[in-house]
Amino acid sequence: MARIPLEDNFTDVIGKAQRGWKISDSDLCARAGVTLADLAVVKAGKPIDAVLRRIARHLRLDPDALEDLAHARWLPRAPVFPRGFAMFNTLHEDCMVNSYLVWETRSRTAAAFDTGADCTGLLDTIAAERLDLRYIFLTHTHSDHVADLAQLAAATRAEVWASEREPAPHAGARTFAENSHFHLGEIAVKTLLTWGHSPGQTTFFVTGLAWPLAIVGDALFAGSMGGSVEHFAEQQRNDQEKIFTLPRDTVLACGHGPLTTLAEERAHNPFFARTRRLPLKAAPAEAAAAITPTSGGKPSPVRALLPATRPLQRKHRRRPA
């Protein structure tokens, strides 16, 4: 399997912003002073920098970040968890979707976050690491994120939890309110309501691992965010208020695409960046490499499938909140 690419390209970002802010092509052209023909060329995938920069401001996008995305100048660098974390990337219909596993290495207690299309990799890691899966947390209940919920729950007998605003489609599932707290030994999990993409879209903020971790579902992607036709403004505001106020070194585990960090998204996500530095150089090959998480000192199910990269290094472990 090749490295995990970005979920959205620059045309996806433009389309999400247009739909979210309900700006038609003709209206956007009138506001930005560009022709319909040039806009059509850009939306077909050819980056015309002058057009990109003009329309970006009227779509509330950062021009520099949108231009960098259009020219593939940026990909998020790959943080590494030495233990207690694994990522799974499975095919659901025509898209790839992520699920995650977090565990405390002393007690071997674990929590899964979403199931993806196939929980086989999750179950294999649980068995290999001799884990006790206590919880299955759902970021939201869209079909690609809960496709294998029945099998994972039956195989592990773990408790299934979802937002009270979006209950899980599973008998006996339980619901949580915002700011609920769960624990796996020294690991703490806090729920943050980051709705908009769906009514109960939840971010799980996890502390006690090598890095602070936010499992954000479809609230946010590397270089983009989850779309919403009716609640786009609320989604962006919730991301800004709930996710972008977390510690700067927080790793973001998204529902689709690669891992990223809050610092990367503050600098490079067109929806949240602010015009900044000198232009980036073309992304080097090592920056384009994908994540390489490990699990308990052994390669995770995705590690052997992904090329190595130079990881971000952290000198001190963050104590649980």
Residue 212 has pLDDT above 70, yes or no: yes
pTM comes to 0.85
Beta strands in 104-237 (DSSP E): 109-113, 132-137, 159-163, 174-176, 181-184, 187-193, 202-207, 213-217, 220-221, 224-225
Domain 85-299 has CATH 3.60.15.10: yes
Per mean pLDDT, which range of 74-88, 251-265, 282-296 is the poorest? 282-296
Residue 294 has pLDDT above 60, yes or no: no
- Segment 224-248, tens digit of pLDDT: 999 888 899 999 999 999 999 999 9
DSSP state of 235: H
For the chain, the structural domain boundaries read 10-70, 85-299
Q: Are strands 159-163 and 174-176 parallel, antiparallel or unpaired?
A: parallel
Q: CB-side exposure of 40: number of CA atoms within 13 Å?
A: 4
pLDDT band at 2 (very low <50, low <70, confident <90, very high): low
CA 56 to chain centre: 23
- Segment 164-206, tens digit of pLDDT: 999 998 999 999 999 999 999 999 999 999 998 999 999 999 9
CATH of domain 10-70: 1.10.260.40
Per mean pLDDT, which range of 110-119, 206-215, 217-226, 306-315 is the poorest? 306-315
User: For the CA atoms of 226, 231, 237, 242, what is the dihedral angle to 10 degrees?
Assistant: -60
Do residues 245 and 235 touch, judged by C-beta distance below 8 A?
Answer: no
Tokens of 38: 């040039």
Q: Over pLDDT 70: what percentage of the chain?
A: 85
- Segment 139-170, tens digit of pLDDT: 999 999 999 999 999 999 999 999 999 999 89
Residue 72 has pLDDT above 70, yes or no: yes
